[in-house]
Structure 1
Amino acid sequence: MTAGFIAFHYPRPEHFEEFVGRTHKVKEFLQSRAGFLSADIWATTDGDAVITSGRFESEEALGAAFAAARELGPIVGFDEREYKPREIFTVRAR
């Protein structure tokens, strides 16, 4: 069954563009993982949040991709460039 994630990120205004660049690096990384289907990067019109989403062939593929992404270190972790913790939801197709 197809599985995915939706994540809401809250970068500080002065780090917004840098943060968007970081999300593109994560997307490139995820594209190289087994079972990857798609990923998107969105920004709210008020510039308050960046929303990322991705789809994988299975929950196992999603889990393996997330585990491997931890190797990217600060690119995927919360840090001082964000004004509040990100919210990440894993989802499954219905």
Structure 2
Amino acid sequence: MFVHLAVHHPKPEHSDELLASMHRVDAAAQGAAGLLQIGAWKDQRSDRLVGLALWESQEAFEASAERIFQAVADDPFDQWCQQPPDVFHLTQA
């Protein structure tokens, strides 16, 4: 299994726009070969938003990532976010 995890740090006034962007990523990923689960999450103790995607393999993720993220390529993340997201590519240890 392979996990793509992105922790976003939205400016409070742009949290809804960033969440909508994350939902567009979720929609673009539907039907991707090897995708097991995808979703957007909000941390209850902060303003952070977390994108979590579980894949059968890293190869499956890499085969679909460019097409999926094209759905939000023009979104103004630099205006919406306090800092770039913390992105993790996780494999089981």
Q: TM-score under structure 2 normalisation?
A: 0.85
In the alignment, residue 33 of structure 2 is paired with which amino acid?
A: A
| Deviation of 1:39 (Å) | 1.1
Aligned to 1:6: 5
User: Gaps (5+ residues) in structure 1?
Assistant: none
Secondary structure of the residue aligned to 1:33 is: coil
Deviations 1:55-87 (A, max 9, x none): 111111111222222422124x74211111101
Aligned to 2:20: 21
Aligned to 1:74: 74
Runs of 4+ residues over 6 Å off in structure 1? none
Secondary structure of the residue aligned to 1:79 is: helix
Deviations 1:11-62 (A, max 9, x none): 1111111111111110111122111110121112244210111011111111
1:35–1:58 contact (8 Å) kept in structure 2: yes
Q: Does residue 73 of structure 2 align to residue 88 of structure 1?
A: no
Q: Does residue 27 of structure 2 align to residue 34 of structure 1?
A: no
Identity level (%):
26
User: Gaps (5+ residues) in structure 2?
Assistant: none
The answer to which structure has the higher strand fraction is: 2
In the alignment, residue 33 of structure 1 is paired with which amino acid?
A: A
2:17–2:80 contact (8 Å) kept in structure 1: no
How many positions carry a matched residue from both structures?
Answer: 92
